[in-house]
Amino acid sequence: MQETKLRRLDATDERQYMIREDYEVYEKQGAPLGAITFHYHSFYEVIYVLEGEYSSMLENQTYHLKKGDMLLIDCNVMHKYHFVEKKHDSSRRIILWVTREMLQGLSGEGMDLSACFRGTGSRAYHFPIYYEEMLRGYLLKLAMAELPDVPAPEAKQALDRGYLTLFFGYLSVLCLRREYGFSRKDMVSHPMVEQVSEYIDQHIRERITLEELAGHVHMSKYHFLRKFKEQTGVTAHNFVLNKRLIRACEELSRGRGVTEVWQDAGFTDYSSFLRNFKKTFGVSPGRYRGL
């Protein structure tokens, strides 16, 4: 397999949105310069480490990944690249983005191919070598711009659908095995972020002040603001706003009306909700609901 045929994203590429409407697969090398602040998206993401090391923070957990490790990121989960100086310069990884609709279309009766993203434990895995090599093979084939002896783009697309089905089929079964997930010693917890996130979830419909958040974690307001930005890469204010937008997206996806959604997400008025929603997602809430 010639690596020169792999689709690649430059480490300086900060894009966190999909161009295609179904899935995208790339190889990425080196420490990323983008994705260093909390962000989220409406599609699933898989990160597989080909070489070196890589670290990522998902909400209140930081995972330090090594060669062969795999990280699964659900839709609308806040996450970011966790910088460790000189650790990730030689990192090579495969990035897979896939939409809910794509996995729903590939799922068959009795097999939900998105189930692997919804576990309650670790979101990072290290599989036995046989399974790891098999999964890596599917990812590398998906990342190839073209397959040898398959010149027709239509044939490549059909084969890719098969590789995606096999990849997520095996992954959904393997992720049920707790022994393949990272243990506590393999990840770093961030209790302050967890406490803040839980508080916001519990009071999402209410007005939430920075003073309340600081008091909840027993810190002065200014110490809290500094520590929170230091750990997450975003301000506490933006964190609250994004949690409200995530809640709105989830409820819109369930078919709820726009008026119900912005009120239940805790926005004080519709104009504020509309402005922030369109700025973040590029479409109106009504349009998003119909996608």
SS (H, E, C) 133-178: HHHHHHHHHHHECCECCECCHHHHHHHHHHHHHHHHHHHHHHCCCH
pTM of the model: 0.88
pLDDT in tens, 110-169: 889 999 998 767 899 999 999 999 999 999 999 987 776 766 777 888 889 999 999 999
3-class DSSP assignment, residue 2:
coil
Distance CA 186, CA 181 (A): 10
More confident residue, 283 or 50: 50
Written as six digits, the tokens of 141 are 């084939």
pLDDT in tens, 228-271: 998 888 899 999 999 999 999 989 888 888 999 999 999 999 99
Confirm if 268 and 207 have CB atoms less than 8 A apart. yes
Going by C-alpha positions, the residue among 121, 123, 112 that lies closest to residue 172 is 112
Residues across the chain: 291
